Structure 1
Amino acid sequence: MLDDVFPVPTRALIRQGGRACFYRLVNTSPILFQVQSGTKIIMANDRPLRLEAGAYGLLPDYQPLTMENIPKAPRNYQTVALPVPRQLFEDAYARMGSIAVPSRPLPASASSLPEEAAVLFDYCCQPGNLARLPGAIAKARLMELVTWFALCGAVLGEGQSPRLEDRLRQMIESDPAFDWTLAHAARSFNMSEATLRRRLAAENTGFSEILSDTRMNRALGLIHTTTLPMAQVALEVGYDSPSQFSARFKERFGVSPRHVRSGSEHFERIGAEVERSGADALPR
């Protein structure tokens, strides 16, 4: 079990004005979520999972996912997301005993979540509720919520051995605005720069790629969950130039930061492919 004193999860309210598809998004914690307005399509292993407003789901940790968020006029797309430590999933499943845990973490929907579970989800997502509780009680509430999701079909797959890339992402996420270098990372992992470079290459990636991708994922999160000016978002992820940040963001995600927030641009083809692939397998 986790210690009685643990970081209380904080829910995020994700809003998006323009339709967009985001490739290779990686969460560093499992996430329970509810789509409140619009439609969410998640692609993993070439299999689409479509969730309409009101649906609940589970996103795994450290699995690159393609996610398309589609607003439904006149409202923006909106989802509430609650990160939950992986250890609580494992503890909850151990207590259930008979739960079948998938060998690989994949996104899943929680079908027919009962009202009691929906009320508990809302309670855990309300700011301050869990923080006011003793640590043991807060963990028990979260484990109950995880159990409800599992009973409704949303079970988190087995954890994978953390890759060096995952550990590097966690380090950069702690301060994405810091002037990270390969030398900093190598010292943190007690290895030479050459060894770090070689081990990342064995995972088909590199330091600069992970640094840029982690910063862009963080920027997307800030745009989704805050009203910070774009210039401030750029600074938060290590870019002094808003125009350079905007160009890098569009290169990474295919749409500008302002389109994500306001939907003011024409929707680009990057998102249409996921919609078509989902149309053959899932009802509209």
Structure 2
Amino acid sequence: MEHQDFPIPTGALIRQGGRACFYRLVNTNPLLIQVQSGTKIVTANDKPLRLDAGAYGLLPDYQPLTMENIPKAPQQYQTIALSVPRQLFEDAYARMGSVAVPSMPLPARSSNMPDEAAALFEYCCQPGNLTRLPSAIARARLMELITWFALCGAVLGQSSSPRLEDRLRQMIETDPAFDWTLRHAAHAFNMSEATLRRKLAAENTSFSEILSDTRMNRALGLVQTTALSMAQVALEVGYHSPSQFAARFKERFGVSPRHVRNGSEPVERIGTEVERSGADVLSR
């Protein structure tokens, strides 16, 4: 088998029992999604995009998004998402030649997806389908899928230079439970702690804010996509106290992790516009 030279994605099934709105979520890779039940309203730059059950969409990387997920009783909200490296989008568009790439990456709907494209999306999302293929074939399948999305109106906008904040988030995401310190980060980026602190301040953030926010957004993903207990989710993102984890989660998102999973608590306000806490994170 040929060595895989890029991360092979697998579809993530996102389930949510309670209605909630999550502010300032940022993906570190673009996402191809299909809403399977309920409704998703995603907003960027004050432009909302509504995706009802059956709709396909493209969510950009490193673009702050507000995500409102609305279950339709008696079913949970459910979406399948495929995280695809940006380079594959750029390669696919280069091969298409005539595609008009937007100057800004914004959420987009892929309208009137043909059956062949829908079947390819389902194939790529199934665990194991792409990983057992040679790298060149897996890449070709994903680029074909990206091309279908583009032909149906969902084209990924141009990327901007990654901020130091984004690079730091990528590093923390490799192991959110690790005891990361400013010293670790400064060493990884070949700069002094004072320089790193100053550069992050210039981006209106700090190491501790990015660390906390990255962990909370990974936790949100685990709550939505796994059956892990809340105590295990807490451990996975570096919290040894489940109660401390639950309090921090609610502070960040305005709802408890149990509400997100089960919809078991009344909510008078949906989500919360909190003070900026580092980067704006993975959208779901």
TM-score band, normalised by the shorter chain?
A: over 0.9
Paired residues of 1:28 and 1:61 also in contact (CA < 8 A): yes
What's the offset of the Cα at 1:272? Answer: 10
Aligned position for 1:10: 10
Residue 148 (structure 1) shift: 0.4
Alignment partners' CA distance in 1, 2:84 and 2:61: 10
- CA-to-aligned-CA distance 1:177-211 (integer Å, 9 cap, x gap): 01111111111111011100110011111111100
Q: 1:43-192 maps to which residues of 2 (within 5 A)?
A: 43-192=43-192
Distance in 2, Cα, partners of 1:81 & 1:206: 30
TM-superposed CA distance for 1:269, in Å, is 1.4
TM-score by length of 2: 0.93
* 8 Å contact kept, 1:255–1:268: no
Q: Deviations over 1:214-233 (max 9, x none)?
A: 00000000000000000000
Q: Can you list the C-alpha shifts for 1:234-275, whole angstroms capped at 9, x where unaligned? A: 0000001000000000000000000000000112313599xx
| Structure (1/2) with the larger helix percentage | 1
Kindly provide the CA deviation profile for residues 51-80 of structure 1, in whole angstroms up to 9, marking residues without a partner as x: 000000001111111000000000000000
**Structure 2 residue 28 is matched with structure 1 residue 31:** no
Residue of structure 2 equivalent to 1:277 = none
Q: Deviations over 1:73-102 (max 9, x none)?
A: 000000000011101000000011110001
Q: How many residue pairs align between the two structures?
A: 271
TM-score, structure 1 as length reference: 0.93
Q: Which runs of 5+ in 1 are unaligned?
A: 274-284
Identical amino acids, percent of aligned pairs: 82
Contact 1:254 1:268 in 2 (8 A): no
* One-letter code aligned to 2:176: P
Matches of 1:193 and 1:63, distance apart in 2: 27
Residue matched to 1:279? none
Please give the secondary structure, in 2, of the residue aligned with 1:270: coil
